[in-house]
């Protein structure tokens, strides 16, 4: 009888049975075991999204880790990650497409004045606002990586004037791309709608603060589907309350789930989503995870390797 292939697992997003179901047809003999079980010490690979401190270093037989998300900050930040381990993240086309759908939904809500019409509906007030023209509306995508580039090019198909920012120079058809510190400010000052899809790094933590919000165009809307720790929440509330920003839509928070007494919940101009803009799906990401497991066990660098020093 062939011995099982133990793969350690730790995540709060899906059950271990969920991933066992999706990976069993792809990885012969695979048996997922919880990372705190004794059998996990035999595992060469850990599948995880948010391991507690000490878990990765404590699995002595590990050769590598596969993040069950496109972002990797929950695996790395503030935690011990042995330098000899290989580290892969997901770059799933489904997640990019799902994020593009969510961004289109939220951008169109502002573009088509949904908040004003819903408020008028509650007042039973039959109003008609002057329509906005997509070509006259500038949408900035902050973060033109694997997901952000798909989001930006998707928005161009709706005829918006799309600009974007990345740390290094990028070129995307139909998108005016900026980079570097000066480019970041240029995007903020020009955009009617700012969409952040940045990874969380030491450079991006608290990047959206009172100074940043003050640089945004008066009346702009702010959308964040990057990471909650990038936003100084009290500064955002102040920017919206003052009227400098017309509103915000947030899919990520500093603390998740968002505490029931948090000021975002009841704010009339801040929309809260429960971190669902681009969820990992086993059917679409399973083949990529299976490939990463095979690469790590064979000592190869997985296709979507993470630069640990850079944080993505």
How far is Cα 139 from Cα 163, in angstroms, rounded to an integer?
6
How far is Cα 210 from Cα 232, in angstroms, rounded to an integer?
8
CA dihedral 141, 147, 152, 154 (to 10 degrees): -150
The residue length of the chain stands at 312
Number of C-beta neighbours around residue 166 at 10 A: 21
122 assigned to active site: no
Look at the block and give the residue holding tokens 């640089």. 215
89 assigned to active site: no
Tell me the three state secondary structure of residue 46.
Answer: strand
Going by C-alpha positions, the residue among 28, 30, 27, 24 that lies closest to residue 8 is: 30
Among 244, 254, 267, 275, the active-site one is 275
Specify whether the CB–CB gap between 296 and 63 falls below 8 A: yes
Among 10, 111, 227, 246, the active-site one is 227
For the record, the structure tokens of 281 come out as 């799906």
How far is Cα 128 from Cα 116, in angstroms, rounded to an integer?
10
How far is Cα 223 from Cα 108, in angstroms, rounded to an integer?
12
Going by C-alpha positions, the residue among 34, 159, 165 that lies closest to residue 108 is: 159
Query: Which residues form the catalytic set?
Result: 227, 275
């Amino acid at each position: 009888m062939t011995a099982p292939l133990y793969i350690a697992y730790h995540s709060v997003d899906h059950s271990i049975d969920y991933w066992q179901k999706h990976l069993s047809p792809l990885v012969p003999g695979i048996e997922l075991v919880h990372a705190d079980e004794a059998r996990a010490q035999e595992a060469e690979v850990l599948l995880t999204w948010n391991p507690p401190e000490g878990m990765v270093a404590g699995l002595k037989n590990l050769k590598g880790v596969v993040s069950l998300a496109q972002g990797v900050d929950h695996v790395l930040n503030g935690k011990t990650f042995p330098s000899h381990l290989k580290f892969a993240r997901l770059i799933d086309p489904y997640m990019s497409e799902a994020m593009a759908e969510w961004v289109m939904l939220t951008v169109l809500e502002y573009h088509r004045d949904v908040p004003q019409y819903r408020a008028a509906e509650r007042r039973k007030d039959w109003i008609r606002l002057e329509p906005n023209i997509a070509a006259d509306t500038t949408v900035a995508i902050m973060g033109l990586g694997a997901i952000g580039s798909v989001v930006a090019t998707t928005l161009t198909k709706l005829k918006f004037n799309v600009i974007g920012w990345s740390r290094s120079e990028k070129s995307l058809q139909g998108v005016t791309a900026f980079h570097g510190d000066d480019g970041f400010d240029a995007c903020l000052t020009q955009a009617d709608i700012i969409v952040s899809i940045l990874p969380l790094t030491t450079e991006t933590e608290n990047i959206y603060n009172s100074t940043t919000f003050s640089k945004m165009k008066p009346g702009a809307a702010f959308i964040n589907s990057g990471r909650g720790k990038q936003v100084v929440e009290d500064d955002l509330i102040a920017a919206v309350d003052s009227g400098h920003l017309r509103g915000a839509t947030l899919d990520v928070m500093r603390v998740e789930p968002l505490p029931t007494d948090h000021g975002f919940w009841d704010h009339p101009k801040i929309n809260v989503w429960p971190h669902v803009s681009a969820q990992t799906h086993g059917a679409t990401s399973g083949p990529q995870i299976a490939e990463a497991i095979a690469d790590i066990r064979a000592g190869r660098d997985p296709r979507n390797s993470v630069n640990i020093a850079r944080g993505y």
